Structure 1
Amino acid sequence: MKFSTREDIDLPLDKVFEEVSDLDQFERAALRRGVKIRRLDNHADARAGMQWEMDFVLRGKERHLDAQMISYDPPNGMMFEGKSGGMLHHLTVDLTPLSKKRTRLQLELELKPRSLPARLLIQSFKLGKQKLNKRFKQRVTDFAREMEKSAAR
């Protein structure tokens, strides 16, 4: 199952990459949402090989996710992979310059079930895919608008 969206941002490519590669910011946001997150590496700066362990509640059940950054290509994008129970996750962040002051952010999240319970979870997601897609797109849009606002300050 795939979720994807793209958003055009009125900022230069380097500035957008700086924001999307600020992984500490995303770790803090996850903590605020109740996710227990732990870094498994000791890299001071963003790079391929970074790893996280996360525990969170989804659909009333405690879940565990092991994630790692598999590609880091400044200023073009990043890729992450994760494993949660019987499910594989693949997140791609791709940046494309549209002009000197405008950048396209493209996100793609792919979920691949590898067990029967994971297949059942994906089936329940498919029933609400339109709503989930809308939420996914809205969060990316909100993130893009917040980036533009903070750059204007």
Structure 2
Amino acid sequence: MEITTREDIAAPADYVFECLSDFQSFEKAALRRGAEVERVDGDGPLGPGAKWRVNFSFRGKPREISVELVDYEPTEKACYRAVGQGMEALMQIELLPMSRTRTRMATTVGMEAKTLSARLLLQSLKLAKGQIGRRFEGMMADYARQLEKRHTKMGAH
């Protein structure tokens, strides 16, 4: 199953990528939502091979996934692989500068089942793909607007 979104952001590509690379803010946001996030490859610089372990509850059950940064090209793209519970997901974020002050962010998430129980879960997700896609688009649109607001505030100071 694959879900794709595209958002135009009123901010330069380098600023958008800098925000997308602020993993500590993503870790804090996950913690606020009840997940436990731990970087497991040390505190070195970000790049391919950076790994996190994420524990959370989904459908009333504790879950653990491993997330790895598999491709990382500053100001252009980042790609993550998440593996857990018989499921593998690949999330790719690409940035395309449209002008000095506008950036297009294209996000693709693909999921693949590796076990029978994961296939059943993925099948139920496919049945709700329209609703899931709209929710994902809404989340990405909200994130894009937050980036625009932060960038505007920075320019005002």
Q: TM class by shorter-chain length?
A: over 0.9
Partners in 1 of 2:117 and 2:140 — Cα distance? 29
* CA RMSD in angstroms, aligned pairs only: 1.0
Shift of 1:59: 2.0
Taking structure 1 as the reference length, the TM-score comes to 0.96
Partners in 2 of 1:134 and 1:145 — Cα distance? 16
Shift of 1:93: 0.8
Matched with 1:27 is: 27
Matched with 2:152 is: 152
Shift of 1:54: 0.8
Conserved 8 A contact 1:7-1:106: yes
Matched with 1:103 is: 103
User: Which whole-Å deviations, capped at 9, do the CAs of 1:9-55 have from their partners, x for residues lacking one?
Assistant: 01111111111111111111111111111110223432111100111
Partners in 2 of 1:91 and 1:5 — Cα distance? 11
Matched with 2:84 is: 84
Partners in 2 of 1:123 and 1:131 — Cα distance? 14
Partners in 1 of 2:97 and 2:122 — Cα distance? 34
Partners in 2 of 1:25 and 1:107 — Cα distance? 19
Consecutive unaligned residues of structure 1, counting only runs of 5 or more, are: none
Matched with 1:58 is: 58
Aligned residues: 153
Matched with 2:3 is: 3
Query: Amino acid of the residue matched to residue 45 of structure 1?
Result: P
Conserved 8 A contact 1:23-1:46: no
Structure 1 residue runs of 4 or more that deviate by more than 4 Å after TM superposition: none
Matched with 2:112 is: 112
Consecutive unaligned residues of structure 2, counting only runs of 5 or more, are: none
Partners in 1 of 2:46 and 2:148 — Cα distance? 22
Q: Secondary structure at the match of 2:98?
A: strand
Q: Secondary structure at the match of 2:68?
A: strand
